[in-house]
Amino acid sequence: MKFAVLGDPIAHSKSPIIHQAAYDFLGLNWNYERHQVSRANLASFLNSELVNFDGFSLTMPLKEELVAIARQRGWAQDGFSSQLGVANTLFKDAGGNWGIANTDVYGAGMALTSVGSQVKTVAILGSGATVKSIALALGHINASLEELAVFSRRAEPAEEILGLIRLQLPQTKCVWLPLEAAGDFGGADLTINTLPGTVVNDYEVDLSFGESWVFDVNYEPWPSELAQAWPQQKRISGLEMLTWQAIEQLRLFGAIPAHYDSDTFADLAVAMRAAAS
């Protein structure tokens, strides 16, 4: 079986490392590669390479383009990719038919399980495709969320994200603010960063006066410059989301036996995390 992660850029991706660690843990003689593919070239790449692969992981900037291609070709979509217009997985079902899925929602939910239900206020830096998945996961985890603020350069994509929360949690106060305001808003119980380190490091980010958490999707290097502003025990690395979304991909790829229990999943996650650290 042969799989790959696609994106642009892609050289930094740890997906090959964690997927290979999973194959070793599961005793599978499978292969997982990386290929640099631009958004403009995704359709042509799939045209020529689908016959040579059994599935793909997709990262930025391909997640929305994959949904557009799937709709054009009549491929099946899971509920999350259909709802969000964002997908990161292309796989074959039991009948050999191609379909797409969003495993980022599951990955974000697992990464935030320990803190997501405890927080009342959340600040998100960025408004890209990944934020849609994280926001949806937040809505599932925390029905009592009081306030969500999205900081980004443009209001339009942020409003689309906030709309997801308003549908799930009508009582939640949702606001958009420009990135420059992140240094002077009073902080939040949970700060989530989805911006590249090269971008977010140019901005000041306000911290809550009380206990608070940070979840930075950046994981190389770790701790990120932003995460270092929080105590070690209050940091969540993007490697957690990467690991758990990959585990859901492995299930879709047919790598994980149906009888696996929660303890075995936890051991698998440990092996994948250790390989990437």
pLDDT tens, residue by residue, 229-243: 999 999 999 999 999
pLDDT in tens, 108-134: 999 999 898 899 999 999 999 899 999
Based on the domain organization, do 109 and 224 belong to the same domain?
yes
Based on the domain organization, do 48 and 91 belong to the same domain?
yes
Does pLDDT of 209 surpass 80? no
Confidence label for 189 from pLDDT (cuts 50, 70 and 90) = very high
Predicted pLDDT at 277: 85
* Of 78, 72, 85, residue with least CA distance to 103: 78
Looking only at the bridges linking them, the beta strands covering 89-92 and 98-101 are antiparallel
- Determine, yes or no, domain membership for 16: yes
Q: Name the CA dihedral angle for 161, 166, 167, 172, rounded to a multiple of 10 degrees.
A: 130
Dist CA 277 CA 183 (whole Å): 31
Domain count of the chain? 2
Based on the domain organization, do 44 and 73 belong to the same domain?
yes
Based on the domain organization, do 265 and 191 belong to the same domain?
no
- Determine, yes or no, domain membership for 190: yes
Give one word for 253, left, alpha or beta, with left for phi > 0 and alpha for psi -120 to 50. Answer: alpha
**Residue range(s) defining the domain that contains residue 36:** 2-102+240-276
Predicted pLDDT at 260: 87
Dist CA 109 CA 124 (whole Å): 15
Based on the domain organization, do 94 and 156 belong to the same domain?
no
- Determine, yes or no, domain membership for 68: yes
Based on the domain organization, do 72 and 151 belong to the same domain?
no
Based on the domain organization, do 11 and 28 belong to the same domain?
yes
Predicted pLDDT at 116: 85
Predicted pLDDT at 66: 98
Does pLDDT of 210 surpass 90? no
Query: Percent of the chain beyond pLDDT 90?
Result: 90
pTM of the model: 0.94
CATH number of residue 224's parent domain: 3.40.50.720
Based on the domain organization, do 91 and 110 belong to the same domain?
no
Confidence label for 178 from pLDDT (cuts 50, 70 and 90) = very high
DSSP class of residue 225 equals: T
Predicted pLDDT at 105: 97
Based on the domain organization, do 218 and 151 belong to the same domain?
yes
Q: Can you tell me the mean pLDDT for 130-142? A: 93
Close Cβ partners of 203 (under 8 Å, ≥ 6 residues apart): 125, 179, 180, 182, 183
- Determine, yes or no, domain membership for 235: no
